[in-house]
Amino acid sequence: EIVLTQSPGTLSLSPGDRATLSCRASRNVASPYLAWSQQKPGQAPRLLIYGTSSRATGIPDRFSGSGSGTDFTLTISRLEPEDFAVYYCHEYDSSLTFGGGTKVET
């Protein structure tokens, strides 16, 4: 069973800063199978990135995804106030596996 480890656990930044979130897998992940979602308190998650680097519908281009093999990255180029949230990477092979999340706080 794959394990996804996200780092850091918490990222303390300010609006306008660049955020770099890491997701490391315990085994190789094919690029189509890695996605990122955002979750705000009291809300359901929202899909940001699928297939490692494709933005979901309506997601602004300040969000970008990259990586391959076991190392994947979500980058937010300039943080907006609404971007402070928890971010999860997930892998979808025959089942869904989520990372533990990275909280981006101000």
Residue with tokens 């303390």: 12
**Residue placing its CB nearer to another protein in the complex, 14 or 42:** 42
Element (H, E) at 88: strand 86-92
Residue with tokens 């943080």: 79
Is residue 2 part of the contact set for another protein (CB under 8 A)? Answer: no
Binding mask 38-67 for another protein (x = CB under 8 A): -x----xxxx--xx--x-xx----------
Which of 11, 19, 25, 35 is in the footprint of another protein by CB under 8 A? 35
b/e burial code for range 21-58 (CB count within 10 A of at least 16 → b): bbbbbeeebeeebbbbbbeeeeeebeebbbebbebeee
Taking the complex as a whole, the smallest distance from the CB of residue 88 to another protein amounts, in Å, to 6
Catalog residues that contact another protein under the rule CB under 8 A.
1, 32-33, 35, 37, 39, 44-47, 50-51, 54, 56-57, 88, 90, 92, 94-101
